[in-house]
Chain A
Amino acid sequence: MTTQMRTSGIDVVGEMPWGTHVCLFYETKADLLATLVSYCKAGLESQEFCLWVVAEPVTVLEATHALQHVIPDLDGYLAERSIEIISAADWYLQGGAFHLQRVINGWNERLALALAKGYLGVRVTGDTAWLDKKDWKDFCEYEDTVNAAVVDQQLLVLCTYPLADCGAAEILDVARTHQFVIAKRQESWEIIETPGLKQAKAEMARLNEELERRVVERTGQLTVVNEELRKEILERKRAEDALHQTREELAHATRVTTLGELAASIAHEINQPLAAIIANADACLHWLKSDLAHMDSVRDALAAMAKDGDRAAEVVTRIRALLSRSSVPREPCDMAQLIREVHPLVGPELRRHGITLDASVTGDLPEVMGDRIQLQQVLLNLLMNAAEAVSKVSPERRRVRVRSSVEARDDGPWVVVAVEDAGVGFAKEAAARLFEAFYTTKPGGLGMGLSISRSIMDGHRGHLWATANADHGSTFHLALPAITRGPR
């Protein structure tokens, strides 16, 4: 607050901070009036309380008239007591003599009152033409006290001295007891700074430099901290990516392991009867080559072969049943709802690759009969495939669309869901093999997803097929008979 700059109203001074104590040496009454009128006007216009203590040769009336000349609404200011114009005799010499403490108290009371009334501060000017040589010493002490007291206060003090009445000794005393001196001599202004002010200014400059140095130093430190933070964020991102990759590898390994175990188990179950069939067949051939004595053995072996054939066929049937889970009870399913439920599962993966999912799913689709988990598995598989296909193309093509529709077919309405991507697509020659087990175009892919998905759709008496898009990518369609006409 105290460092806030105020408009002095005196051209040569310009702005000055609160707490300024300055003295003015004047030669003529006209100079004095012109300067103080301007000084007070600036104060009134800046929401300051002004106190003008006048002395010979200026009277209260003259000062008032001079102010009225430049401030048309002076009467208003006077009425609300924003400005007081008071004679030096009434201010400094109350009771006939100068009393240092009384005068100081007077300033302080005015300041407290002004602040309480909402003024920003107090602007004072006092003339010293009344000063007798006998009071000089006391007055110097007073100025000294004022000089020390104004610091850190919302107070501006301009003391005016008639140059003609001051000898060299007085001028020196005055200069010493003020922060700076202004003088108007032969129409031109002079400004003389005291060593104290110079020192203060130098100190301020030094403090500013120090502040700037600290700002630079602190900025440097912040830059280092920022850089460290950036590195840390980068490091964390790397760690997260690594974790994600590890998770994916783990998931992949788990799938491979599970399928590997499944494949080993299937292989054993099928190879066992297959080995028996081959051995029996060759035994029969040997027997038939030699003579007819072994016809009974041949008959038995052939019966065993048929039995082993059935055994192998049963294994295949069991695997089919496992994949289509035909024994799972079906329930009416809302495909729109299933699509919405799959969103959160694929969301993180899509976001990670910056892929937009546009699901234009009709809310009033007829229900289909199915195993909701299996149908979601198919949707999930199609969405993940689409995401993988677009993750390799330019960002503007990273878009996956899910559309739903109802198709009227010969045997009634069907619900059709299409998963469309603008990704890498598939070659014409690959189209026929897309749904084959172990057929894959993806590095590290197992080629099981679409094969299992089609098994599931077959198990639901539905269809799953793929079409190549005209421009980019492919669309996978799944169709299921709507429930309205009952399951076929």
Chain B
Amino acid sequence: MAEQRTPVVCVVDDDESLRRSVRNLLSSVGFRVETFASAEEFLESPQRAHAGCLVLDLRMAGMNGLDLLRHLAATGSRIPAIILTAHGDEEARRQSLEAGAVAFLVKPFRSNALVDAVRMALGS
């Protein structure tokens, strides 16, 4: 029952290797993690209802990370989001934070930074 109430960290990334490694990292410190290969897959998933926070890749085929953030904001969903990107330019950071992201991490990121950001997001 307790597991049911534990919020889920939803990892949305179109790179399978990264998806799996982030799931490994976050689950190794005790988080419940679900992974999605695209923004669309996440939106259609029933797990979405239990999402405590999002770990989101910025550049993805189809709906990208920013589009997903904006869509969630527009539909009144308040899931805190952490952005992971390999393109860490200032403009992307500004746009992400404006769209409601709580953290912006550039790949390769420090594991602790991601774990801390997730803790903070779930705590909020």
Contacts and interface: CB of A to CB of B under 8 A. Distances in A.
Interface of A: 264, 267-268, 271-284, 286-287, 294, 297, 300-301, 304, 307-308, 311
Given A277-B21, A279-B24, A280-B20, 12 more contacts: A268-B86, A271-B107, A273-B17, A278-B111, A279-B114, A281-B111, A282-B112, A283-B27, A286-B25, A286-B28, A287-B28, A304-B21
A276 B17 contact: yes
B119 to A, nearest CB: 14
Nearest to B15: A272
Interface in B2-52: 15, 17-18, 20-22, 24-25, 27-29
B108 interface: yes
A275 B55 CA distance: 14
B17 A311 contact: yes
B111 A282 contact: yes
A311 B87 CA distance: 19
B86 to A, nearest CB: 4
Given A274-B107, A277-B21, A283 B86 contact: no
Contacts of A300: 24
Contacts, number: 78
Interface in B105-124: 106-112, 114
Contacts of A272: 15, 17-18, 86, 107
Main secondary structure of the interface of B (DSSP, over half): helix
Contacts of B87: 264, 268
A300 B24 CA distance: 10
B22 A279 contact: yes
Contacts of B54: none
Given A275-B109, A278-B108, A283 B18 contact: no
A280 B108 CA distance: 12
Nearest to B107: A275
B81 to A, nearest CB: 18
A311 B18 CA distance: 12
Contact of B86 (A271, A281, A286, A297): A271
Interface residues of B, number: 22
Contacts of A311: 17
Contacts of B114: 279
14 contacts: A268-B86, A268-B87, A271-B106, A274-B108, A275-B21, A275-B86, A275-B107, A279-B22, A283-B21, A283-B27, A283-B111, A286-B25, A300-B24, A301-B21
A276 B86 contact: no
B18 A275 contact: yes
B84 interface: yes
Contacts of B110: 278
Given A267-B86, A275-B84, A286-B29, A308 B24 contact: no
